[in-house]
C-alpha cells in the first residue's frame, strides 16, 4: 500500500459534503471508512454537514432562545438519526467513489473483527445450541 495522503481541511470539508477526492487520497479514503474509528469519523462528517444548518436555523427561527434551541436540537437529532441509519451505505459509497470495489470496505472491516466474531459465535453455540 502506498503512502496515505491526508486531504487538506478544505478538501476534507468538500469530501464531508460528498465531493470526491483526487486519486492521491485514494488510500486515505479507504483508511477513513475502514479504520477502527470509522464510526467516529462518520460522526465528524455528519457534524460538519449539520452544524452550519443548525447555526443558520438558530439565527433565523423566530422566538425565544430556548424555543429556537429546542427546534435546532430536534433537527440535529433527526439529522444524526438518518446519518447513522445509512452509515454503512455511506462508507461503502465513499470507497466506491475512490475506486474500490463494492463491498470492499465492509469486507476489510469484517476481516479485522473475524476472530472476535468467531469467538462470539462459539460462545453462542456453546450456550444455546447444545443438544439437551
- pLDDT tens for 63-115 read 999 999 999 999 999 999 999 999 999 999 999 999 999 999 999 999 988 88
* Alpha helices, DSSP H, located in the chain: 9-16, 26-34, 38-60, 65-85, 87-97, 104-112, 114-128
User: 0.75 cut: is pTM over it?
Assistant: yes
* pLDDT of amino acid 112: 85
> What percent of the chain is predicted at pLDDT more than 70?
97
Q: Grid coordinates 423566530 are at which residue?
A: 62
Q: How many CA atoms lie within 13 A of 124 on its CB side?
A: 6
CA distance 90 to 115: 26
Amino acid at each position: 500500500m502506498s503512502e496515505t495522503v491526508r486531504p487538506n481541511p478544505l478538501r476534507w470539508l468538500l469530501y464531508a459534503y460528498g465531493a470526491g477526492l483526487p486519486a492521491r487520497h485514494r488510500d486515505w479514503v479507504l483508511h477513513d471508512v475502514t479504520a477502527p474509528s470509522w464510526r467516529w469519523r462518520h460522526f465528524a462528517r455528519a457534524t460538519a454537514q449539520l452544524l452550519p444548518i443548525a447555526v443558520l436555523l438558530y439565527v433565523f427561527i423566530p422566538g425565544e432562545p430556548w424555543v429556537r434551541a429546542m427546534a435546532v436540537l430536534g433537527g440535529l437529532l433527526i439529522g444524526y438519526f438518518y446519518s447513522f441509519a445509512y452509515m454503512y451505505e455511506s462508507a461503502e459509497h465513499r470507497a466506491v467513489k475512490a475506486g474500490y470495489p463494492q463491498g470492499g470496505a465492509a469486507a476489510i472491516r469484517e476481516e479485522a473483527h473475524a476472530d472476535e466474531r468467531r469467538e462470539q459465535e462459539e460462545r453462542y453455540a456453546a450456550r444455546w445450541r447444545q443438544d439437551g
